[in-house]
Every structure is written in structure tokens, then in C-alpha cells.
Amino acid sequence: MTARIISGAAIAGRIREELKTEIAELKERHGIVPGLATIIVGEDPASQSYVNSKVKACQALGIFSLNHPLPGSTLESDLLALVDTLNCDHRISGILVQVPLPEHIDESKVLVAISPEKDVDGFHPVSVGRMVIGQPTFLSCTPAGIQQLLLRSGIKTSGSEVVIVGRSNIVGKPVANILMQKAQGANATVTICHSATRDIAAHTRRADILIAAIGQPRFITADMVKPGATVIDVGTNEIGKTAEGKRILCGDVDFDNVKAVAGAITPVPGGVGPMTIVMLMANTVKAAKLAHG
């Protein structure tokens, strides 16, 4: 068997087209232009590359964008003051502070400072709480992207065994919550594995849908996958650079061998990555609509 490749790039492209229409209508009928402010502190190349992609995506869709690149030495109080200014800026529907932040800045303090109405990353405790009780405003982008990938690829989650490897606040915990909810009929039975799990392979081999979000290159091998399972690879591990200095990425799944066992699989790059950015755009449009009643 060779697995069907789930193209996040293609699905994200379709969502982008839907958003383009929605943004044009908002502009023409209501004079609303969604706006996204991004803040990046320091010079981490991976973070810079992610933020640049987000700014470019805004430009391609007609979303107003304002990027604030700040030096790594920025004081926490100055960052909080900038967030406060953006909270009050009517051109800005959504605010994104790229994480991780430098060690001298308390990340949770900064994320809580973002107005929940502008929390397009879905990291604010209010957004997380709303997700947990099944009344979400903004779902965080990677988990929401995974849900859309499954929905739009016709992969049934209701009654399915979903096993997630990784318990981060950005991916593992929220995707577990989203897929177990009744909302939209997700209704999966969810297991989360992590570094203290006794026998990870015993769990992953039960999975109808296996989500790898560990941050270790090719951690999931073919013997850990049930034949016919859907495998979603959230990993973006840098394993080198091309001669032109471009980052070479590899997922958390041993793609070449797992695709011979799985029923469907996402590639890296071109799988979950493009979905994360398009869901950020969708959240920004949603924030703009909510702000205008």
C-alpha cells in the first residue's frame, strides 16, 4: 500500500480563495479592512522566516499588516506597552507575538496582555478556556489547521482513536481538545503520549489518526503505525541548509517508510505548515468581523 498524500498546500490554497472573496466583500459592502500586527523580538532565523511568511500572506489577501521587529534586548515593559498600543489601534484586528520570546521576558505575561478580542493566535487563557468548554472564539492556528485538513480530506474523526505524540500548549493540548469536542462532530477518542509515556509505540499502533508533534526528526517509524492509519506530521525540524542557505526541513515522521504503511499522510514541507498560516488569516478576518458587530 502507498498512502494518499494530504496536501496542506492545496487545501490551504482553497481556503485562501474563500478568504479572498470574504475580504473583498467586507471591504466593498462594509468598508472593513482586517488588520494583523506581528511582533518579533530578537533575530532567530526560523522565527523571522515564519513571521515573514505571515506578513506576505496578509499582503496576498488584502489584509492590512504591521510588523514590529524588536531587538533581542527589548525590555518586557516596552513590549507590554507596544501590545497595549496595538490593543487600542482600530486598524488592527489581530495581534501576534511570535514565541519563543527571549528568556528575560515573561511569555505568559505578554500573551495575557493581548486583548482576547484580538487574540488571533488563540494563546490567551480566555481563548483556551473557551475552546475547552466547546465555545471557541479563536482556535490556535496549527490545531485548527489540522482539524480543517482532516475535515476537508474526508477523514472521519467521530468515534476514531486519535493518538497525539507531544503535549505542547501550541499543538498537543489544543488539538486533543478540539478533536474530542462534540462541536462540528469531531467526537474522537483521544490519547496524548509524552516523554513519560511508558510504551509510546503500543499507543501509536492503536491510532486511526496519529498526530506527531514531538519536535524530533523521523521519531515515528513504520512499525509504530497501524496499517491504513492517517498520519499528520506537525514537525518542522531543520536538518541542514541548501547551498543557497535555505533551511532543509524534515518532519517528526519517517515519511518514506511510513507512507508504505499509512492510508493517508501529510508531507513536510507542504502539509500542516501552510494550514497554520491560512488559519491565522481566517482568525484575523473573524476578529475584524467580531469587532464590527
Which residue ranges make up the site for ligand GUN (CB under 6 A)? 96-99, 121, 141-142, 170, 276
Gap between the Cα atoms of 148 and 125, Å rounded? 23
CB of 126 to ligand GUN, least distance (A): 16
Residue nearest to ligand GUN (CB): 99
* Catalytic-role residue among 20, 44, 89, 98: 98
* Catalytic-role residue among 54, 118, 173, 286: 54
Closest to ligand GUN by CB, 263 or 271:
271
Q: Which helix (H) or strand (E) holds 67?
A: strand 64-70
The answer to whether 230 is annotated as binding is: no
CB of 42 to ligand GUN, least distance (A): 12
CB of 274 to ligand GUN, least distance (A): 13
Whether the bond between 267 and the residue before it is cis, its omega within 30 degrees of 0, is: no
- Phi and psi at 99, nearest 5°, equal -110, 155
Q: State the cell numbers at 121.
A: 493566535
The answer to whether 160 is annotated as binding is: no
- Among this protein's residues, is 59 annotated catalytic? no
The answer to whether 266 is annotated as binding is: no
**Residue linked to cell 494563546:** 123
CB of 141 to ligand GUN, least distance (A): 5
Kindly report the CA angle at 14 between 185 and 257, in degrees rounded to 5?
A: 75
The answer to whether 8 is annotated as binding is: no
- Among this protein's residues, is 121 annotated catalytic? yes
Closest to ligand GUN by CB, 65 or 98:
98
In the chain, the amino acid numbered 7 is S
* Catalytic-role residue among 119, 121, 233, 254: 121
Are 165 and 196 in contact by the 8 Å Cβ rule? The answer is: no
Closest to ligand GUN by CB, 26 or 101:
101
Give the chain's count of helices (H) and strands (E).
10, 11
Closest to ligand GUN by CB, 98 or 181:
98
The string over 79-108, giving b where at least 16 C-beta atoms fall within 10 Å of a residue's C-beta and e elsewhere, is bbebbeebeeeeebbbbbbbbebbeebebe
- Phi and psi at 64, nearest 5°, equal -65, 135
Closest to ligand GUN by CB, 121 or 254:
121
What are the DSSP E strand ranges found in 71-214?
A: 94-97, 161-165, 189-193, 209-212
Give the closest residue to 171 by CA, choosing from 216, 213, 222, 134: 213
CB of 156 to ligand GUN, least distance (A): 27
- Among this protein's residues, is 54 annotated catalytic? yes
Residues at the binding site are 166-168, 236
Active site residues: 54, 98, 121
Residues at the binding site for NADP(+) are 166-168, 236
